[in-house]
Amino acid sequence: MELTDRQKAAIRISFITVAEKPTSMAAMFYARLFELDPSLRLLFKSDLVEQGQKLMQILAVMVRSLDDLESLTAAIEALGRRHLKYGVKMEHYETVGNALIWTLEKQLGGQFTPEVRDAWEAVYAFLASAATAQTYAGFLLL
């Protein structure tokens, strides 16, 4: 996947803002996720503060890798396989994406322009595709 330089800049600049309040970002994300699909709460066995830290770390790695997202493919595929073991279904990725975009919009306010939205949607589509492509294709063959 190839993002434009403008998309990369939009993601990087907006991430600086949300990374300043990682606890708030993560708490808002999980609240929205469970609002959209309360059944997903059952998939989280660990402390949500710790889970939120992991979320922000994953986003930070993704932002640092915007110039070579393909280098993350193996790690994202492995994450997808782990999520499958936890009970994550393919349709959950859409809910997660919706929660992420909503949270970014709330956290960024007026900075969340259509261009910023499009950039984040594009990068999330890449991540979700990489996490599900091999994992669920193989799972469906079992």
Cα separations in angstroms, 115 against 19, 97, 111 = 19, 17, 10
Alpha carbon distance, N-terminus to C-terminus of the chain: 29
As its CATH architecture, domain 5-141 has Orthogonal Bundle (1.10)
What is the pTM (predicted TM-score) of this model? Answer: 0.85
Q: How many C-beta atoms lie closer than 10 Å to residue 45's C-beta?
A: 7
- % of the chain at pLDDT higher than 90: 51
Does 141 or 111 have the greater pLDDT score? 111
Separation CA 38–CA 99 (nearest Å): 12
Binned at pLDDT 50, 70 and 90, residue 13 comes out as: very high
- Whether 137 shows a pLDDT value over 70: the answer reads no
Residue 45 DSSP code: -
> Which position has the higher pLDDT, 6 or 43?
6
Q: Per-residue confidence at 84, pLDDT binned at 50, 70, 90?
A: low
Q: What is the mean pLDDT of the chain?
A: 85
- Residue, of 124 and 83, whose pLDDT is higher: 124
DSSP 44: -
Using CA atoms of 127, 11, 55, 108 in order, give the dihedral in degrees to the nearest 10. Answer: -130
Alpha-carbon gap, residue 42 to 35, rounded angstroms: 13
Spans of all domains in the chain: 5-141
Q: What is the DSSP string of 18-68?
A: HHTSHHHHHHHHHHHHHHH-GGGGGG--S-HHHHHHHHHHHHHHHHHTGGG
- Note the pLDDT tens digit of each residue in 88-104: 677 878 899 999 999 99
